[in-house]
Structure 1
Amino acid sequence: MDMGLGGKVAVITGGSVGIGLAVAEALAAEGAHVLLVARGAERVEAEAARIASQYGVEAMGLAADVATPEGTAAVIDAARTRFGGADILINNAGTGSNETVMEAPDEKWQSYWDLHVMAAVRLARGIAPQMKRRGGGVILHNASICAVQPLWYEPIYNVTKAALMMFSKCLATELIPDNIRVNCINPGLILTPDWKKTARQLTEKSGGDWEGYLQGVADEHAAIKRFGSPEELANFFVFLCSDKASYSVGSTYFVDGGMLRTV
């Protein structure tokens, strides 16, 4: 299926590893040019160079912390100066947390708010005008199933991802007159390097069966009894970026292998 994304310009935050990198590759495979954003310069620049070589598209790796105003400003400027603006924005940068409400300090709440919510707000303010000048575009927010079905050990993650989901809905209503479609994706269990790292740490003193640990997590939470791959999730992102999803506006989509326990 031709997704009609050839020549489009996509900005992907958290783009050097895991879900963000998979989405960048999937878009590049469709002929889109990509601006990968991550905090680590060496990795993001290397992945951009590899994608450019492998898929024959223009790719740039930018080291920036999108949890800061300076970082988002750098992304907005790079999209404008290097590519003449963006057609697609994937707000993917984020990370899990581990705390209790009673013990977590204000600073931790603020840092996750800046990363999961304010990064999306600031990038929308800077990238949406570029999209409008180019005739329209797509903004996708990578939230989490935890936005509606929280895990007990990460209340800050749950709350800020729920806020991102609501922001996505509000932004969609505001931008659709400019032909900019905004949607949110709530993944379930996706086998990212972070999950593997955590599983190895948790099983280090009990035999090291990290794969068995992850299978137990999947058995407990997902009806499909396995983790999804970043590539499986990326395929859904690509569809929502395309004109094939032209009537998808202001929605939240669960890609979770049956993890959600409500309707």
Structure 2
Amino acid sequence: MDLGLKGKTAVVTGGSVGIGLAVAEGLAAEGVDVILAARGRERVEAEAERIARTHGVRAEGVACDVATLAGTTELAARAEAFGGADILVNNAGTGSNETVMEAPDEKWQAYWDLHVMAAVRLARGIVPQMRRRGGGVILHNASICAVQPLWYEPIYNVTKSALMSFSKSLSTEVVKDNIRVNCVNPGLVLTPDWIKTARQLTAETGGDWQGYLDEVAREHAPIGRFASPEEAASFFVFLCSDRASYSVGSTYFVDGGMLKTL
């Protein structure tokens, strides 16, 4: 299926690994020029170079921390210099591991800046570019934990809920500019972040992180397994296209049946 994306430009945060990298790769396969943002310069630049070589598109890796005002300002400026963005995928994020009673204010603030303020600041920086280009698409990668929290990561749960709410608020503000905003709540996707969390949770009980992940999949997902990043990315790519032209302000669950509510 031709999604009609060839020649567009996308900005993907958290773009050097996991779902973000898979989304960038999926868009590039459709002929989209991509700007990958991540904190690690060597990796993000290498992945951008590989994507450009593999798919014959323009690709740039930008090393920046989108949890900071300086980082989002730099990324928006680099997108402007690239010619402007048609697509923004706010994917940067990470899991947490704490209790409400013990987590310090600083940890709450750090996750708020990463999961929420990064999206707010990038909207302010990139929406004007989309307006000049006649419209665009903004996607927010939240999590099933935004509505079905896991017990060990309250900060992640809360900030992802806020991101989902921000997505809805932004969608009503910019739809008049032909900018469609939606949110995706993935379930179990086998990313390095999941492996990191599993290692932490099993560190004192033998370190069988793979067994822990298998148990998580059996317990939570009726499909009985984790998704690959590429499976999740395919849905993001579809939402970026005009095939999803009537999708505005919605949240979509890509979770293998994990969500327990209607």
Could you state the TM-score of these two structures normalised by the residue count of structure 1?
Answer: 0.97
Q: CA deviation at 1:198?
A: 3.5
Q: CA deviation at 1:189?
A: 0.4
Tell me the alpha carbon deviations over residues 207-241 of structure 1, each in whole angstroms, 9 at most, x when there is no partner.
Answer: 65433321111001101000011000000000000
* Residue aligning to 1:142: 141
Tell me the alpha carbon deviations over residues 39-68 of structure 1, each in whole angstroms, 9 at most, x when there is no partner.
Answer: 000000000000000000000000000000
Distance 1:219 1:225 in 2: 5
> Which piece of structure 1 moves more, 208-217 or 5-14?
208-217
Distance 1:16 1:175 in 2: 28
SS in 2 for 1:124: helix
* Residue aligning to 2:122: 123
Distance 2:105 2:233 in 1: 34
Q: CA deviation at 1:197?
A: 3.4
1:163-174 alignment, distance < 5 Å = 163-174=162-173
Q: CA deviation at 1:174?
A: 0.3
Matched, 1:220 2:219: yes
* Residue aligning to 1:188: 187
RMSD, aligned CA: 1.2
1:51-130 alignment, distance < 5 Å = 51-81=51-81, 83-130=82-129
Matched, 1:13 2:30: no
> Which piece of structure 1 moves more, 139-148 or 191-200?
191-200
SS in 2 for 1:61: strand
Distance 1:199 1:135 in 2: 44
SS in 2 for 1:37: strand
For 1:56, give the aligned amino acid.
G
Judged with a 3 Å threshold, the aligned counterparts in structure 2 of structure 1 residues 152 and 199 are, in CA distance, closer, same or farther, namely closer
Distance 1:205 1:252 in 2: 37
Extract unaligned runs of 5+ from structure 2.
Answer: none
Distance 1:211 1:98 in 2: 18
> Which piece of structure 1 moves more, 37-46 or 103-112?
103-112
SS in 1 for 2:247: coil
Q: CA deviation at 1:103?
A: 1.4
Matched, 1:258 2:240: no
1:13-52 alignment, distance < 5 Å = 13-52=13-52
* Residue aligning to 2:2: 2
Q: Is the 8 A contact 2:13 2:20 kept in 1?
A: yes
SS in 1 for 2:5: coil
Distance 2:112 2:207 in 1: 34
Q: Is the 8 A contact 2:139 2:183 kept in 1?
A: yes
* Residue aligning to 2:240: 241
How many residue pairs get aligned? The number is: 262
For 1:90, give the aligned amino acid.
V
Extract unaligned runs of 5+ from structure 1.
Answer: none
SS in 2 for 1:212: helix
Tell me the alpha carbon deviations over residues 57-87 of structure 1, each in whole angstroms, 9 at most, x when there is no partner.
Answer: 0000000000000000000000001x21000
Q: CA deviation at 1:203?
A: 4.8
Distance 2:149 2:201 in 1: 21
SS in 2 for 1:158: helix
Q: CA deviation at 1:201?
A: 5.1
Matched, 1:197 2:168: no
% identical aligned pairs: 78
Q: CA deviation at 1:111?
A: 0.6
* Residue aligning to 2:176: 177
Q: CA deviation at 1:35?
A: 0.2
Q: Is the 8 A contact 2:97 2:197 kept in 1?
A: no
